[in-house]
Amino acid sequence: MLKLPKRLLIPAFAALSLTLPVHAENHQNSIDDVMVILSDSSTQTQGMAMVLGNTMADQGANVHVLLCDKAGDLALNAYQGESLKPNDLTPGQMLRRLIKQGASVNVCALYLPNSGYTRTDLLEGVNVATPVDMSAQMLNPSFRVFSF
């Protein structure tokens, strides 16, 4: 074990404290915007993505959701899905909660032309993504991107 003279201990501890991360009790995340990209058809995966999206929104994040492939069905007015325990909610119901919280929700640009649905089949507040807008958000360093 290294032994330092007492006169060097205080400067050594002071220097060490400058290199350690600070964990304040009221630590705030520096990420304000998150994008949740959901394309998985699994009900549990869809549900977990929506649970996390709602939780991030509850914690103050601006949530942006991009729904692709079968996950786009969550954004349909006629969506009927399987309820998940423990709250007996469908992923679509959780998506509706996100929309009510102000989340930006889009279906992929390829979803409508390849599904047979139209814009009128989508929930109010759901838009069709453009590749230019989505890629700009994904490349924006202030966004965290999560994919399910």
| Domain annotation covers residue 7 | no
Asked if 130 and 123 touch (Cβ cutoff 8 Å), the reply is no
Query: Residue 98 above 80 pLDDT?
Result: yes
Question: Residue 57 sits in which domain range?
Answer: 31-147
Closest CA to 50 of 112, 103, 10: 103
| Domain annotation covers residue 13 | no
Instruction: State the alpha helices, DSSP H only, in 1-148.
Output: 6-19, 43-58, 91-100, 111-115, 131-139
More confident call, 136 vs 4: 136
| Domain annotation covers residue 138 | yes
Query: Residue 14 above 50 pLDDT?
Result: no
| pLDDT, tens digit, 9 for 90 and up, residues 23-70 | 333 445 456 999 999 999 999 999 999 999 999 999 999 999 999 999
Residue 126, amino acid: V
pLDDT for the residue numbered 17 = 43
| Domain annotation covers residue 26 | no
| Domain annotation covers residue 15 | no
Using the structure block, give the residue that is written with the tokens 């509706």: 96
| Domain annotation covers residue 88 | yes
What is the CA 113 to chain-centroid distance, rounded? 25
Confidence of residue 3 (pLDDT cuts 50, 70, 90): low
Instruction: State the alpha helices, DSSP H only, in 33-82.
Output: 43-58
| Domain annotation covers residue 5 | no
* Other beta carbons less than 10 A from residue 131's beta carbon: 10
Angle separating helix axes 91-100 and 43-58, nearest 10 degrees: 20
- CATH number for position 141: 3.40.1260.10
Domain total in the chain: 1
| Domain annotation covers residue 135 | yes
Percentage of residues in the chain with pLDDT exceeding 70?
79
Length of the chain: 148
